[in-house]
Structure 1
Amino acid sequence: MARSEPLAQQIARNVENDIEAGRLRHGQRLPSSRDLAQEWNVSVFTINEAMDLLAKKGLVVSKPRAARTVNAPDQEVRGEVRPVAPQVVMIGGYAGSGKTELGRILARETGWPMLDKDTLTRFVVEAALEMQGLSRNDRESETYLTKIRPAEYDSLLEAMAENLQCGNNAIVTAPFIREFADESWIRQRELLCRNLGAQLTIVWVYCDADTMHTYVRHRNAPRDATKLADWETYMSGVNVEFRPPVQHVVIDNSVSGGVMAVQARQLIDQLALNGKGK
């Protein structure tokens, strides 16, 4: 595949997102270049390039005869954003776009609860699929699409509504591919939030195809096996230029885009302004 961005930059961006999202912690030792090369399925040279990019940003420290370590002392500095009107941030995007990382960054910066569809429902979904005689990793069959998937989203939105009823803000992450394409669905959720005294912000995470492929391959989740087995066929059904048909915020997580953490903080500033104060 022709790549629009160098692999080293793609890897560096994903590692930086993991640091900002708290998956990689300050002071944590990173695996060796050889181990990272196996993990990312690239050459040692590419890993060293990626680590050099991170070192230039001060996110990774490398000392002679010592393992590289994560340098993110600000991770322990926690703030809480308290808007007057509760806020709901609904984040969607294709597999590997970085929507969950964005949700984690927002949650760490604001102190708001993060509700991720896979985290909340995956084990129940896998058990339900097995009970239907299907693979735990099936996300393509008619049974999953018509019976299980709607229940996943219903559960996710119930958790969101419960937080709003308690006066909490909420960060909600899921693909939302079908949902964000349906203006009436979005309007209904806006009305639900408004009736609970909250404001809804729709966020779409854009990511170029190459960077998505690098990340999906790296995370090696069983549910992605079908996608990776025939990536070109999968991408033929993906519209990377898709945008929700209502007012929304776009976060650009392609390598040529801005740093995700910076974009996240700009979004937080806007949410605080919308909620009339912190």
Structure 2
Amino acid sequence: MAKVELGRRMTDGPIDALAGAKQQRIARDIQNQIEAGVLRDGEVMPSTRTLAEQTGASVWTVNEAMKALAEMGLVENQSRSRRIVRSAHLTPKVSEAAPRALLIGGYAGSGKTELGRILTRLTGWMIIDKDTITRPVVEVALEALGAESSDRESETYLSKVRPREYEALMSTAHENTACGAGAVVTAPFLREFKDASWLARQQAQFADDGLPMTVVWVTCDADTMLTYVRRRGAARDAHKLATWDAYMEAIDLTFRPVVDHHVIDNSTSAEPLKDQAARLIATLAEVPAK
């Protein structure tokens, strides 16, 4: 099994000049969301107090993070209480890389969806996110089975709903790639990236579609994951947040897929996702399709 590490440690820049790690994590989270297009040019940012509540940080910490983002030209401070996203200058030049299927996995809060959106903005390929495609139906199915709509931990979800959820995800991906469109598929893929047979079947099917498949794993430090999960405030994360220490003890941050893959490091001290995404595309363009 081979892996390619694409993250480099940051040694300078506005975020590194911040006094504390929490400011760095908040600034990085918002930077990734702006560069992924989740936060759009001209959009009014939540208030400092709201961001503090979302991230579990102090108002002072949020203000320091905002200062760094303003230095980077990503946020305009119009007043003490009003900040505007500035991203028009980030309009990416779409790569001419040949289309392929990218399967992007990682734990909750690792930044895999943001990476997927950035890659899509850089390539023009389709983004196919598991939660976007399946969540409404999954919630209804769970309720029909007598479980909470936010359940992602019980045997009911794991044995009855999850397999169909991933079946729908991959069917959607193959419907796009069969038409020759590149696909960026984002999901945890925790079981799937442990299963060499499943990965081999997907690779063969994508090959039948005429596209090569690449596996990408997004790694992240625990504190950055917590910042991401807190800020997005999704109902499906409630159990994780309520039992965070136990959740962290149950997962393996050293996990890597069982096949050749690329690693993106979304830890606070690593390069921004956009830089790593651009290098990933350049790396893939150099590798002939099998």
> Which residue is 2:4 aligned to?
none
Query: How far off its partner does 1:19 sit?
Result: 0.2
8 Å CA contact 2:27–2:68 kept in 1: the answer is yes
Residue 274 of structure 1 aligns to a residue whose secondary structure is coil
- The equivalent position to 2:162 in structure 1, one of 143, 149, 153, is 149
Query: How far off its partner does 1:79 sit?
Result: 4.0
> Which residue is 1:173 aligned to?
186
Query: How far off its partner does 1:53 sit?
Result: 1.6
Tell me the distance in 2 between the aligned counterparts of 1:73 and 1:160.
Answer: 30
Identical columns (%): 51
- The equivalent position to 2:24 in structure 1, one of 2, 6, 9, is 9
Large movers: runs of 4+ above 6 Å: none
Q: Is 1:239 matched with 2:243?
A: no
Q: Which amino acid aligns with 1:52?
A: K
> Which residue is 2:115 aligned to?
102
Query: How far off its partner does 1:274 sit?
Result: 3.5
Query: How far off its partner does 1:55 sit?
Result: 1.9
RMSD: 1.7
Give a deviation string over 1:15-47, Cα, whole Å, max 9, x none: 001101111112222233223222323211100
Give a deviation string over 1:111-158, Cα, whole Å, max 9, x none: 111000111000111111111111101112212111110001111111
Give a deviation string over 1:148-172, Cα, whole Å, max 9, x none: 1000111111111111111111010
> Which residue is 1:27 aligned to?
42
8 Å CA contact 1:87–1:271 kept in 2: the answer is no
> Which residue is 1:135 aligned to?
148
> Which residue is 2:102 aligned to?
89
Q: Which amino acid aligns with 1:246?
A: V
Q: Is 1:55 matched with 2:67?
A: no
CA 6–270 in structure 1, closer or farther in 2 if over 3 Å, else same:
same
Q: Which amino acid aligns with 1:7?
A: K
Tell me the distance in 1 between the aligned counterparts of 2:252 and 2:216.
Answer: 16
Tell me the distance in 1 between the aligned counterparts of 2:96 and 2:288.
Answer: 8
Residue 269 of structure 2 aligns to a residue whose secondary structure is coil
Residue 103 of structure 2 aligns to a residue whose secondary structure is strand
Tell me the distance in 2 between the aligned counterparts of 1:161 and 1:258.
Answer: 32
> Which residue is 2:82 aligned to?
67
Tell me the distance in 2 between the aligned counterparts of 1:126 and 1:66.
Answer: 37
Query: How far off its partner does 1:233 sit?
Result: 0.8
8 Å CA contact 2:52–2:59 kept in 1: the answer is yes
Tell me the distance in 1 between the aligned counterparts of 2:81 and 2:191.
Answer: 48
Which residues of structure 1 form unaligned runs of 5+? none
Query: How far off its partner does 1:62 sit?
Result: 2.2
8 Å CA contact 1:90–1:173 kept in 2: the answer is yes
Which residues of structure 2 form unaligned runs of 5+? 1-19
Residue 167 of structure 2 aligns to a residue whose secondary structure is helix
Query: How far off its partner does 1:275 sit?
Result: 6.1
Length-normalised TM-score, structure 2:
0.88
Query: How far off its partner does 1:6 sit?
Result: 1.2
Give a deviation string over 1:86-105, Cα, whole Å, max 9, x none: 30010000000000000111
Tell me the distance in 2 between the aligned counterparts of 1:180 and 1:159.
Answer: 19
Residue 69 of structure 1 aligns to a residue whose secondary structure is strand
Give a deviation string over 1:41-95, Cα, whole Å, max 9, x none: 32111001111121222212224567222221234x35443444x3001000000
Write out aligned runs for 1:219-230 (5 A). 219-230=232-243
